[in-house]
Structure 1
Amino acid sequence: MKAKDLNERSLEDLKELEKSLRSDLFQNRLKNFTNRLDDTSNIRKTRRDLARVLTVLKSRGAAPEAQASTKEG
């Protein structure tokens, strides 16, 4: 996944892609933990793709939901 391709996508599409990548990352980690993941490089690739998506979202001013909430205490 290239950053140039991400810049051309809409905001809603990027948010949907973020959710999908988070889900894929969780599934890959779970499979790795249970020794069912054949290609462990998928975890790294997914993490990097997710970072690219979050970077594009942040540059557009759309904060991700997980980081947008502030901790008050």
Structure 2
Amino acid sequence: MQTLSIDRPVLRLQRVPAGRPRGAADEQPTPLASSAAPSFDSMALLRGSKVVEIAHNGSVYRLQATKLGKLILTK
């Protein structure tokens, strides 16, 4: 089984010192990467196969392409 490594955007929250009003500009998350979700072509994920397995948090999921061109993700 091959695994696919996907880089995810990371957000960091800054702590606001006690006594500062809530809603201060410092509380907004600071994006460290592009805010747009990464996009992948299904053909790149499937690599010519009809089914691939995806490991996520200790579980294995199956991504399957149907004859009608739809995708099914099952656990």
> Structure 2 length normalisation: TM-score?
0.31
Larger radius of gyration: 2
Structure having the higher strand fraction is 2
> Structure 1 length normalisation: TM-score?
0.32
